[in-house]
A and B are shown apart, each in its own frame.
Chain A
Amino acid sequence: MNMYLNKVSPAVEIMSAGFCPHNCSYCYIPKSPLLESVHREIIEYIKDGSIFRRLKNAYGDSLEHIGLWGTEPTITLDYIGEQIPYMVELFPNLKSIDFSTSMITNPDFTCRFIDKLVPFGIDLNIQVSLDGPEWITDINREAGATEKVIENLFYIVEYLNKKSLSDTNITFRWKATHSIENIREQIENPRLITEYVDFFKGLEQRFKDTNKNRNVGMLYGSYSPTLVLPGKYTSEDGKDFARYINLCHRSGLCTTYCGRLSRLVTFSPVLYKRRQFTCSAADSNFGFSKFIHMCHRTYFLSYDNYIEAVLKNETSVKDVDNWDVTVFEKGHLGNIRRNFIVDPNNEFETIRFLYTMRGYHDYWAFDLNALLAMIVELAEADQLHPEYKKNKDLCVLLAGFVLSALSCPAENLMNTGNIHIPPFSSLRMFGNGAIQEILKEEAKKWDQR
């Protein structure tokens, strides 16, 4: 029995869906008809409970939080719901289940799933992917998506109004993702930023007005937009992004990146605990399918036929520009599959994987050294704001920010072949004026305090 994960982590993200009916423009999963066979395999391991038994072997009783990941998680909620009693039996400390949904699928999946959770007092956290009003969400997703998301969300809220949830709490939060094209549109027409804020404020007000259940809540203000990361950003993109952040601040919209910088500053006395500033991948959380992953990001990379199809461009949509297939071709895949997707029955490999990942979460020095060198070279090549040529403190701040606020060892692996090294893309995006904008905004708040 391999029980290594129980010593380090109370949380897991299981691969609970392999197929998605949608084609969101920024999705990191290249679509292929072969995803349907992946999906069937997933349904099988949920229905026969083998995924949970494997989890039990790895985590023992320690598991407290389960995230449902893969593609669109709601399409297998009925199968997961059937297994809730078994899950509770295996994991007596289970406290919550999370998922992030497009909210475009049938909302009854979610309602029925909540019904299954209530007898066991398990909490549910639902992240609703909504990028903004029609002019942004319908472009990123599909025509009519915005309306559908809102309709489904309030369908669920009204359903919950009629239910007694006992000890179960349901929390909604937003997840808005903006591409560089979305950002440019808002720069050209800054009125759209105000419209964006008003749109979410209106929805939150409607939520307050509609929701009658004390066990149901929302994380208000969570609509602050996030970037498609890591992307393939240029220095021009970075300059536009800085302008956009400036406009957001002027419109009273504080981006999520302000909070992330603030966290770095606020918790600076405990900077020696790097894990407090890195993402949870292979630290407090793991990805789990038939294999152990650092997180959900590498699930699909373990499927040979699927990868082969993607490499041959046998995708369901001919135009694959939105999916970064190039990283599949660069040879990064072999590295990830060999070293960062681990058979849970292989004790030696599991220990090696944990050892290597701890090096990411517990040490700053190498990564800071790496980022500073990258910043210096970008500045020398005139691909960063000129200030980086003379202001060492700013260089350190940018390095620290990228290493903490954008911490993602999986994306690092996909792009540079190394968990410690982020792509230049992130530095170009935040190193062309954005950090200064964020800093100015945060400084105002610090002054006020």
Chain B
Amino acid sequence: MGSALKYKEENDKLIESFLGRTFFKVWKDGGNPNFQSLEIMVNAYCNMSCQYCYLNRYQQQLFPDDSCDRDKIMRNLAIFFDWLIENDYKPKIELFSGELFSQEIGFQILEMILYKLAPHYSSSVVVPTNFSFVLDRNRYDRVIDILERSRKVGFPIYLSASFDGKYCEDQRPFKFQEIGKYEDYGRIWKWKYNDKKNLKDDYFYNEAFKLAKKYGFGFHPMIYSKNIEKWKDNFLWFQDMLKKYDIPFHSVYLLEVRNVEWSAKQIYEFGEFIKFLIDWSWKFVGYDIGRYRDFLFKLKGFNILSSPLTRVGRGIGCSVQSSIYLRPGDLTIGPCHRQCYKHLNSARFKVEEGKIVGLEALNPEYLIVQTSFQAVNQPYCYTCPIKYVCSFGCLGSQYEATGDNFTPIPTVCALEHMKIRAMIEKYEEIGILGQVLENTSKEKRDSFMLLREVLRR
């Protein structure tokens, strides 16, 4: 055998060894929660073009056309699910795409999961969605139908609401110009809504919140630089809606968009919003430190307030180290949905006669490094005073902005610094900084105290 062939063979064996000891083992035998998930990255099609969305900007590089063929996706998924069953693998599943319910294939995949996997094991499927299906009665009914059936067969589908709120919707326009791609869905909108700017009216939100209440779905609006000054009003609107539909106030998972484009003024506004959020929460809990700590550490503090204070059991908070990312169109395992660039993809399933027979390594080095790295060790982060309390950047966004997945974006660093600064200043002002930090790790406490001293001077 030639050296190049042997080299390839060793790399294939290596990736099988790595995944076999980690994800595949846990999918079969249970254990480490970090290795339980499988994210299926269906395709990049979406009926919206959100200004901050990576698919909107890098769709072609992340999902080349040949990976988006509908027949291939369905055929490969059937093969892949058979392989899961044959090996007794039982991963938790997330379905990712642009917008799954704007495409027929989204329903077909969910049907296949219920048909093929549900008899084999009990788990769940999480689907992030912009909820635009509530604007179309036919789609809406189909979604409800499949949600109900998924619960009956013990493989419940959970939706996660991906809309940013009434005050920030202008950053998430619909793609009317591409209606053809989304079957008949767009035509219905056009007929129903003459004013394209106001698609998401009160009807839309009322329907979305009703569904969330009924099934216990959460909300994950993105805090983007563009409308940051509207976020105080937007947050209050979210709270009004949660109250109206009797949904717990803490059901909003706030996450800042860690793209490069934050300006100094917007970063300042972000800091003001963090202070506002603390004030609002402190008042909401009746100025009771016990209840406030419960809000932060048990109810997750809207995520954005708790993430600097809590630890994750891996090197970075996002899911790059806790999921296998499968692009079914070409059965490729990528580093994550935002990094599945050709040169970074990790491996591909080998198929012979309609069956998976092994793995072909593509870039095993990158996968292994990404799965094991500690964000505090990233260049520049290593010497940063907020490294123990930082939420860190998104690897895909860092690649887009700096050319290196592990090099932080200076504007995002400024954003994270501002978050910590705002927290220190506000907690100091209220007089509860020490009490908030009581349950945190020593390194986090020390970081906050050091930064407090810096701010005082």
On whether A380 and B21 interact (CB within 8 A), knowing A235-B10, A330-B343, the answer reads yes
Kindly state whether residue B294 has any CB partner on chain A within 8 Å: no
Could you say which interface size class chain A belongs to?
Answer: 35 or more
Bound complex: CA A339 to CA B399 (Å): 9
Q: Would B368 and A339 count as touching, CB distance under 8 A?
A: no
B398: nearest chain-A partner, CB-CB: A356
Q: Would B379 and A363 count as touching, CB distance under 8 A?
A: yes
Bound complex: CA A340 to CA B403 (Å): 8
Q: Would B379 and A362 count as touching, CB distance under 8 A?
A: yes
Chain B residue contacts of A10, Cβ below 8 A: none
Kindly state whether residue A284 has any CB partner on chain B within 8 Å: no
Q: Would A370 and B403 count as touching, CB distance under 8 A?
A: no
Chain A residue contacts of B14, Cβ below 8 A: 377-378, 381, 383, 424
Q: Would B343 and A359 count as touching, CB distance under 8 A?
A: no
Chain A residue contacts of B13, Cβ below 8 A: 381, 383
Chain B residue contacts of A368, Cβ below 8 A: 377
On whether A365 and B365 interact (CB within 8 A), knowing A234-B10, A352-B403, A377-B17, the answer reads no
For window 330-389 of chain B, which residues contact chain A by CB distance below 8 Å? 341-344, 362-366, 368-369, 371-374, 377-380, 382-383
Q: Would A363 and B373 count as touching, CB distance under 8 A?
A: no
Kindly state whether residue A244 has any CB partner on chain B within 8 Å: no
On whether A356 and B404 interact (CB within 8 A), knowing A332-B343, A383-B14, A417-B344, the answer reads yes
Chain A residue contacts of B377, Cβ below 8 A: 365-366, 368-369
A232: nearest chain-B partner, CB-CB: B7
Chain B residue contacts of A362, Cβ below 8 A: 379
For window 176-200 of chain B, which residues contact chain A by CB distance below 8 Å? none
Chain A residue contacts of B61, Cβ below 8 A: 334
Bound complex: CA A306 to CA B10 (Å): 32
Number of interface residues of B (CB under 8 A): 41
Kindly state whether residue B402 has any CB partner on chain A within 8 Å: yes
Q: Would B382 and A416 count as touching, CB distance under 8 A?
A: no
On whether A359 and B379 interact (CB within 8 A), knowing A234-B10, A352-B402, the answer reads yes
Question: Residue-by-residue, is A369-403 near B (CB-CB < 8 Å gives 1, otherwise 0)?
Answer: 11001100110110100000000000000000000
Interface of A is mostly: helix
Kindly state whether residue B406 has any CB partner on chain A within 8 Å: yes
Question: Residue-by-residue, is A329-340 near B (CB-CB < 8 Å gives 1, otherwise 0)?
Answer: 011101100111
Chain A residue contacts of B102, Cβ below 8 A: none
Q: Would B17 and A381 count as touching, CB distance under 8 A?
A: yes
Residue from B21, B378, B404, B410 in contact with A419 in the complex, judged by beta carbons closer than 8 Å = B404
Q: Would A416 and B342 count as touching, CB distance under 8 A?
A: no
Q: Would B372 and A373 count as touching, CB distance under 8 A?
A: yes
Question: Residue-by-residue, is A165-188 near B (CB-CB < 8 Å gives 1, otherwise 0)?
Answer: 000000000000000100000000
Shortest B405–chain A CB gap in Å is 6
Chain A residue contacts of B405, Cβ below 8 A: 418
B6: nearest chain-A partner, CB-CB: A234
Shortest A118–chain B CB gap in Å is 43
Q: Would B404 and A418 count as touching, CB distance under 8 A?
A: yes
On whether A417 and B343 interact (CB within 8 A), knowing A359-B407, A370-B369, the answer reads yes
Bound complex: CA A232 to CA B18 (Å): 20
Q: In this complex, which of B343, B363, B371 has the most chain A Cβ atoms within 10 angstroms of its Cβ?
A: B343
For window 280-317 of chain B, which residues contact chain A by CB distance below 8 Å? none
Chain A residue contacts of B132, Cβ below 8 A: none
B366: nearest chain-A partner, CB-CB: A416
User: What are 21 A-B pairs with beta-carbon distances under 8 A?
Assistant: A321-B4, A334-B343, A335-B403, A338-B403, A339-B404, A352-B401, A362-B379, A363-B382, A369-B377, A373-B368, A377-B368, A380-B18, A381-B14, A383-B10, A415-B365, A416-B365, A417-B341, A417-B343, A418-B406, A421-B369, A422-B365
Chain B interface (Cβ within 8 Å of chain A)? 3-4, 6-7, 10-11, 13-14, 17-18, 21, 61, 341-344, 362-366, 368-369, 371-374, 377-380, 382-383, 401-407, 410
- Minimum-distance CB pairs A-B, first 5: A339-B403, A331-B342, A359-B379, A373-B372, A331-B343
Chain A interface (Cβ within 8 Å of chain B)? 180, 232-237, 321, 330-332, 334-335, 338-340, 352-353, 355-356, 358-360, 362-363, 365-366, 368-370, 373-374, 377-378, 380-381, 383, 415-425, 428
Known: A237-B3, A340-B403, A366-B379. 4 other contacts (CB 8 A): A353-B403, A356-B404, A365-B382, A420-B404
